[in-house]
Structure formats: C-alpha cells, structure tokens
Copies of this chain bind each other. A is one copy, B any other.
Amino acid sequence: MAYELYYWDGLQGRGEFIRLALEEAAADYIDVARQSDGMAAMMRFLKSRTEPHIPFAPPFLKDGDLIVSHVANILLYLGPKLGLAPQDESLRFVANGLQLTITDFVAEVHDTHHPLSTNAYYEDQKEAAKHRSADFIEHRIPKFLGYFERVLKQNPAGSGHAVGGSLTYVDLSLFQVFEGLRYAFPRATRKLAKDYPAVAAVHDMVQKRPNISRYLESDRRLDFNESGIFRHYPELDQDA
C-alpha cells in the first residue's frame, strides 16, 4: 500500500524533507494534498473529532491505520523501511538527534520572516524581521552549519555522511537546508561552500544521486517561493 503524505500544496515547506526521502528510495507514495480533493482530505484529519491519534499540523504520514506526525518522527519511522537509517540501533538515536537539530534550525529560518506572529502578515512585522534576520545571519547560520561541519568531520566512519558509513535521511535534509539558505539569503551565503566545505560536499553528493536528480528535474519538485519556510526577501538578506 502506498504511503500517504499530507502537506500543504503549493510550497516545499517542511513536507520537502519527507519527499526527498521518499524520492531517494523510489517509494510508492501519494502526495495527497496535491491530488484533487486532497486538501479537503487533509483538513478532515486535522479537524477530526473521532480519529484516535490526530496530528497537530502537517506534514503527517499515513501508513495503513497509523498516522505519524512531525518531520523528524516521520523520518524516524520511514528511515529503516526506506534503507535511509543507520543499521546500528544506537546510531538511530544519533540520527534522530541530528534531525531534531535541523528541525530547530528550520523553525529559526521560519522566524526570520515571522518573528512576532505566525498569524500576522510578513509586511506587518518587517522591522522585527530585519532584526531577527540580521541576528540569524550573524550568529545562527555559523552556529548551526559550524556544528554540522564538526559532525561530518568527527564522524568516525569518515565517509562524508552525517552519521554512519552510508546515506541517511539526515544527509538529504542537509541538502535541503543548504539549498534553502542559498535561496533565501543569496548575498549572505555567497561563501557558504567555502566556509562549510564538508556540508557543501554532502549537498553536492545528494544532488547528484540519480533518484534525487530526477526528482529535482521533475514537476513534483516545486520551486522555492514566498509561501514556504525559506523565503527570499531581499531586504532581509545581508547588504550588497
């Protein structure tokens, strides 16, 4: 039975971390909200008063009767099934810890354009967004990418992967973060590949994987846009 992925149509957003794993593994899945009546199906789960285990928000994955929500949790669930988790049981906790660091980083990316309220328009919190973005560029990008650079260098498998000796969903997510940062902050990230060569190498390795490369060329991969997590607002980027 095909996995059912539920996420907002029209944007990459948090759903993209799941799509990359499903696409790399050439898994059978339905991107439900992109089907006709799919949005209504998604909303039925979110608003259900009878479903035993309701998700708080998209993305969520339905596999048979089980609904799994939150990106890191979905990847934890899918990883072993898709061959994208470490074989070693303890390393799965390491992978999950790394993915949760990515989760936190992604939440901070979101808050660069919505620092005061997710319920208000960007335009109504632009000044605060400038402050938060400047801080994000100066402090948070170096802190997070510097951390992943160390993680990659200190991986005892020494394989150019975030954890263990082969590709995991964490590598796929690092690709997406690297892409997204360069889209959102093109000026601030000009030297990103030079400053974080190990992270950049993971990005390039993932991009070249046959299934990922086919996916990126396909209609299924939407472009980044200003509805997603990574948004390009020139006024939030570093000065030219």
Residues of A within 8 A of B (CB): 48-56, 66-70, 72-73, 76-77, 90, 93-94, 96-97, 100-101, 103-104, 107, 111, 115-117, 119-120, 125, 128, 131-132, 135, 139, 144, 147, 150-151, 154-156, 163
Contacts and interface: CB of A to CB of B under 8 A. Distances in A.
Given A117-B132, A117-B139, A132-B116, A154 B70 contact: no
B128 A116 contact: yes
Nearest to A117: B135
- This chain's copy number in the assembly: 2
5 contacts: A53-B151, A69-B97, A73-B100, A104-B107, A116-B131
A146 to B, nearest CB: 10
Contacts of A49: 150, 154
Among all A-B residue pairs, the 7 with the closest Cβ atoms: A117-B135, A70-B100, A69-B97, A56-B101, A52-B156, A116-B131, A53-B94
Contacts of A72: 72, 100
- Secondary structure dominating the interface of A: helix
Contacts of A70: 96-97, 100-101
Given A70-B101, A73-B93, A104-B107, A54 B154 contact: yes
A154 B54 CA distance: 8
A139 B50 CA distance: 24
B115 A116 contact: yes
Given A56-B147, A135-B119, A139-B119, A77 B100 contact: no
A101 B70 CA distance: 8
Nearest to A55: B97
A1 B141 CA distance: 38
Contacts of A111: 111, 115
Given A73-B96, A104-B107, 5 more contacts: A48-B154, A73-B93, A111-B115, A116-B132, A120-B135
